[in-house]
A and B are shown apart, each in its own frame.
Chain A
Amino acid sequence: MNKDVKVIKVKNLCKKFGDFTANNNLSFEVSKGEIFGFLGANGAGKTTAIKILCGLSYPTSGEISVAGFDVYKQREQLKRNIGYMSQKFSLYEDLTVFENIRFYGGIYGLSKEVIHRKADDLLKKLDLQHARNKRISSLPLGWKQKLAFSVAIFHDPEIVFLDEPTGGVDPVTRRQFWDLIYEASREGITIFVTTHYMDEAEYCDRVSIMVDGKIEALDTPAKLKEDFNAVDMDQVFLALARTATNVE
């Protein structure tokens, strides 16, 4: 991690849907290569913020730059330099593993040779060579998730945004998934991840905890536990969640 280079800079981000404030004055920075956990209960506003950082929707106000690009004016460049794994599973079930890789590589403008070479490496790494020509629909969920993550970083983005990437996956697969995240982080990719699992929060370099659209805590897991006098992140989270008003 390089603490001097800030790849995400957010200052006073606000997002309103009518009268409802989904993101209330968020400010934070994320360093290059950092694994940044973005926590919050259901409806806290995590997905809303991620969509703004990815250039999928405009903020109501605030200064935001991602990978050095302004979210208002430089969306094109911004999009080239990020990867995104949405809360919904996002590979095409009716295409094969390789067809999915080729398609996503293709829309990021990678050449045929590069796609083939990287796809081979990737399948070897995930131990999925045998499934290369199998439809996604025939794979178990854990494999799909790992593949979806690998596809999201296939074009070597600077930052990858993961919105609850491990939802519904068993603990063993989650562990393997985090191995992939660590590996990507070692290669210098910044990870911005939301999760509901508090054990996963422990794996992050720093976490922010959002309650009702506001960031109520932001630090390393160790520091947060100390501050809240808690044995684990679960307790930290519960302490903060108690202050929430619009719990679903």
Chain B
Amino acid sequence: MNRFIGFLKKEFYHIFRDKRSMLILFGMPIVQIMLFGYVINTDLKDVKMAVLDHSKDEYTAEIINKITSSGYFQLSNNLKSIEQADVIFRKGDVKLILVFEPDFGKKLVKNSKANVQILTDASDPNTANLEVSYLQGILQNYNVEINQDKQLPSSIQANSRMYFNANLESVFMFIPGIMATILMLVSAMMTSISIAREKELGTMEILLVSPLNPLQIILGKVTPYLALSFINALVIVGMGYFVFGVPVLGSFTLLMAESVLFIFLALSIGIFISTVAKSQQVAMMLSMFVLMLPTIILSGFIFPIRNMPVPLQVISYIIPPKYFIVILKNIMLKGVGLEYVWKETLILLAMTFGFIGLSLKKFKIRLQ
């Protein structure tokens, strides 16, 4: 035990005396959280939409037709009652629901005024805002059309509401993304570089010649990063909560447990990278291009996955952070429990064991 503590001490000295490490550890999360707002969303495409039509007349049919033929939206469900909204949003496919009030067409003709409500999935507020403005544009066009063609001095009143959280800000969806990026960076990239460094400098051999066994060495190398990553996770959730008011609607314990699972996964990826990389440079490059870029681009953090070309969408399925981000969004912003994220959790778990297995195999071959 004393030996292990000595080892940890040494690791912390390495980290705290290295400016680059300190910057990544403490500068990155804060800068990233602060920068979130400037990230701009891309265009919409085939957003899945459900319709709750209390009226079912020619006007509503025409509006739905206009919307679905725009290319931005795609009708996936017809709902029977508003109670279904909850279930359908939790499933996650459908991003918005259009609700036509009863006697929509009649009111439009008689009163020159009719209401339609747009409900959006609030866990992705950036996109939600975009969707609402696209929809309003389409409705506006339609309004102008009927005014001219049918000589109806009508106006369609569209009001939108975010579902799950009435006054959501766009920072919300960035918190899970930042969390995944930072944990990946600290756990996978920094661990792999730190192990590769010992190999490059030759100190790894000295450690392997000592009575420490390889498992102890690896544990000694990763434990500090486990601890620091966990602290980072707390800082990010805390900053989200206290600075931006990002809620944690679900269980905080579950949130942290999932974060620890993801940290373990990232650490095992880091270990795997270091079994392949002989130098810090290589470890850094591998982490950058195999981990960080895909994490940022493909995990749905900045660019919504459903707007990407199909091949990239397929690739996104093998990117671990994608699942973590889904889990985070669900727990933090939808407030659901393990019963909604067990699939993603299992995938992360399986990936963790996969990478540990690969690393062990690689290590055994090296000893021969």
Contact yes or no, B6 A103, CB < 8 A: yes
Extra pairs beyond A55-B209, A90-B203, A107-B211 (14, CB < 8 Å): A56-B209, A58-B367, A88-B201, A88-B205, A90-B201, A90-B205, A91-B203, A92-B203, A94-B17, A95-B14, A103-B10, A104-B210, A107-B7, A109-B3
Q: Does A87 contact B (CB under 8 A)?
A: yes
Give the nearest-CB partner of A85 in chain B.
Answer: B206
Hey, what's the 0/1 contact readout for B1-24 against A, CB within 8 Å counting as 1?
011001101100110011000000
Bound Cα distance from A89 to B14, whole angstroms: 17
Q: Is the interface of B mostly helix, strand, loop or mixed?
A: helix
Contact yes or no, B201 A108, CB < 8 A: no
Residue of B6, B201, B213 with highest tally of chain A CB at under 10 A: B6
Residue from A58, A82, A88, A99 in contact with B202 in the complex, judged by beta carbons closer than 8 Å: A88
Bound Cα distance from A102 to B13, whole angstroms: 13
Given contacts A57-B368, A95-B10, contact A86 B210 (CB under 8 A): no
Contact yes or no, B202 A89, CB < 8 A: yes
Give the nearest-CB partner of B201 in chain A.
Answer: A88
Q: Does A36 contact B (CB under 8 A)?
A: no
Contact yes or no, A86 B14, CB < 8 A: no
Contact yes or no, A56 B205, CB < 8 A: yes
Q: Does B318 contact A (CB under 8 A)?
A: no
Q: Which residues of B contact A58 (CB under 8 A)?
A: 367-368
Q: Which residues of B contact A79 (CB under 8 A)?
A: 209-211
Contact yes or no, A94 B206, CB < 8 A: no
Task: List the 5 closest A-B pairs by CB distance, nearest first.
Answer: A88-B202, A106-B6, A84-B209, A90-B206, A107-B210
Within 8 A of A (CB), among B15-53: 17-18
Bound Cα distance from A103 to B11, whole angstroms: 10
Q: Which residues of B contact A223 (CB under 8 A)?
A: none
Contact yes or no, A86 B202, CB < 8 A: yes
Q: Which residues of A contact B314 (CB under 8 A)?
A: none
Residue from A91, A102, A107 in contact with B212 in the complex, judged by beta carbons closer than 8 Å: A107
Bound Cα distance from A86 to B204, whole angstroms: 10
Contact yes or no, A102 B6, CB < 8 A: yes
Q: Does A186 contact B (CB under 8 A)?
A: no
Q: Which residues of A contact B360 (CB under 8 A)?
A: none
Residue from B7, B13, B210, B211 in contact with A95 in the complex, judged by beta carbons closer than 8 Å: B13
Bound Cα distance from A76 to B13, whole angstroms: 28
Q: Does B346 contact A (CB under 8 A)?
A: no
Pull 8 A–B residue pairs with CB atoms less than 8 Å apart, ordered by A: A55-B209, A58-B367, A88-B201, A89-B201, A90-B203, A91-B203, A107-B7, A107-B211
Give the nearest-CB partner of A76 in chain B.
Answer: B211
Q: Which residues of A contact B3 (CB under 8 A)?
A: 106-107, 109
User: A83 CB to closest chain B CB, in angstroms?
Assistant: 8
Give the nearest-CB partner of B200 in chain A.
Answer: A88
Q: Does B207 contact A (CB under 8 A)?
A: yes
Q: Which residues of A contact B209 (CB under 8 A)?
A: 54-56, 79, 82, 84
Given contacts A57-B367, A103-B6, contact A108 B210 (CB under 8 A): yes
Bound Cα distance from A89 to B206, whole angstroms: 10
Q: Does B285 contact A (CB under 8 A)?
A: no
Residue from A82, A86, A102 in contact with B205 in the complex, judged by beta carbons closer than 8 Å: A86
Residue of A51, A87, A94 with highest tally of chain B CB at under 10 A: A94
User: A107 CB to closest chain B CB, in angstroms?
Assistant: 5
Q: Does A80 contact B (CB under 8 A)?
A: yes
Contact yes or no, B211 A108, CB < 8 A: yes
User: B283 CB to closest chain A CB, in angstroms?
Assistant: 17
Q: Does B208 contact A (CB under 8 A)?
A: yes
Residue of B3, B203, B368 with highest tally of chain A CB at under 10 A: B203
Hey, what's the 0/1 contact readout for A84-124 against B, CB within 8 Å counting as 1?
10111111111100010011101111001000000000000
